Amino acid sequence: MNHDHELRYPEAQEAIRPLGEEVPSSVPRQWYNLNADFPEPLAPALNPATDEPVTPADLAPLFPMGLIAQEASTQRYIDIPQAVREVYALWRPSPLRRALRLERSLGTRAKIYYKYEGVSPTGSHKPNTAVPQAYYNKVEGIDRLTTETGAGQWGASLAFACALFGMHSQTWQVRASYDEKPYRRYQMEVYGSSCHPSPSRLTRAGRELLARLPDTTGSLGMAISEAVETAAGDPRTHYALGSVLNHVMIHQSVIGLELLDQLAQVGESQADIVFGCAGGGSNLAGLTFPLIGRNLREGGTTRFVACEPAACPSITAGEFRYDFGDVAGLTPKLMMYTLGTDFVPPAIHAGGLRYHGMSPMVSHAIHLGLMDAVAIDQDHSFRAGVAFARAEGIIPAPESTHAIAAALDYVTSSAVAGEVVVIGVSGNGVLDLPAYAGRNRT
């Protein structure tokens, strides 16, 4: 930590100082960055005013320099601050479990494993990036973060992280999820943060959207516009994003780094095929990028499948082109698979997957042929979630059921004896039980 920071933000020192706890060696010490191993460089984000690559100065009103540096980094490994590792140690490493009961119920001789992120304090993978984002903002003396959220897992996770570092978050939640999933909002409030339905009348972007679309169920693109507008108008406030951007993909790599170690510990040389749900890309990237990197560096043959909702199929039905990340055009232009910023998906239960675009890093991996994608119908995904719950005892988040459904389709049609199949279960569904109502038949 530099002395300049100590002079400018002495009040932040205590909040970010490590507690001195011993962190288990199984908690990763570094994040992994696939940008170091891509065979072709990632296309840069563009300043919408100039169509030139964005600069650190362009991003500084919204993000701290620690995250801006990660956003542009091509360094393979990035050290995790000790204060962040101490928080990670509350639940990391997350378990890798052999789904023996699921194997028996399917009658398969393939070996099914699942990497379970639902053990985090908020029940999903989202704290993996919420904690470092809060940390790096606190380093710069930021008091408040704004963000958007779909199902609410990201909003709750950012509120959790802000509470630990003495900060406050203000979240705009997609209207459909705000109405259907009140318990996420209650989580945020317990952690001392606030949540608003989007579009709202609190921002110019929200008011304009409501005037044009008074009955809209909202979208993540709309909520992003409101959060960005609010952050840009306050020098003590920054914006935090739970998916899409490069630094988020880097933080989530703890999932795949642990997976590599855990597979080795149970005697597996590699996974043969990995399934992860895909919305904005953060869980999918975290699960797969360290394994893709090993494929590229060491000649591994693991295959990867992005499992997105048929109601919002940005990869399988979108275009690979530059597009805005939000409806109002306040964000940089990103090269990604996109359905267009005006796309408003149906109010499906998997609110975390209702985004019009896909992470540029994930999009690049798919464009280069390093990963495949499938679109899964909502009813099919829930049937798989019920089957998983009855076999393994865990009720998966609606988002995770898409990966489970694609994996079960594969296992029951194509898998061979001894094949190692890994499913990313990105969160638990205990706060999403209304989504399962009426879906109790497999």
Total structural domains in the chain?
1
Is 36 contained in some domain?
A: no
Return mean pLDDT, the chain.
Answer: 93
Residue 52 lies in a domain: no
Query: Which residues, other chains included, contact 51 with Cβ-Cβ below 8 Å and sequence gap of 6+?
Result: 333
Percentage with pLDDT > 90 across the chain: 83
Tell me whether residue 11 is in a domain: no
Is 24 exposed, middle or buried (CB count within 10 Å of its CB: 0-12, 13-18, 19+)?
exposed
CATH of the domain at 288: 3.40.50.1100
Instruction: Assign 169 a pLDDT band (cuts: 50, 70, 90).
Output: very high
- Contact between 360 and 302 under an 8 Å Cβ cutoff? The reply is no
In a domain, 136, yes or no: no
- Determine the average pLDDT of the residues in 241-254: 96
What band does 181 get if pLDDT is binned at 50, 70 and 90? confident
Predicted TM-score of the model (pTM): 0.94
Residue type for 169, please?
S
Q: Which domain holds residue 375?
A: 87-123+246-436
H-state helical runs in 193-245: 204-212, 220-232
For the segment 250-282, what is each residue's pLDDT rounded down to a tens digit? 999 999 999 999 999 999 999 999 999 999 999
Is residue 186 domain-resident? no
Instruction: Name residue 334's amino acid.
Output: L
**Does 350 score more than 60 pLDDT?**
yes
Looking at residue 7, its pLDDT comes to 44
Residue 173 lies in a domain: no
Per-residue pLDDT averaged across 306-318, rounded?
A: 95
Q: Quick one: pLDDT at residue 53?
A: 96
**pLDDT(2) > 50:** no
Asked, for residue 416, whether it belongs to a domain, the answer is yes
| Alpha-carbon dihedral angle through residues 261, 266, 271, 274, given to the nearest 10 degrees | -80
Q: pLDDT digits over 103-147, tens only?
A: 999 999 999 999 999 999 999 999 999 999 999 999 999 999 999
Q: Indicate whether 254 belongs to any domain.
A: yes
Give pLDDT tens digits for 397-437.
999 999 999 999 999 999 999 999 999 999 999 998 988 98
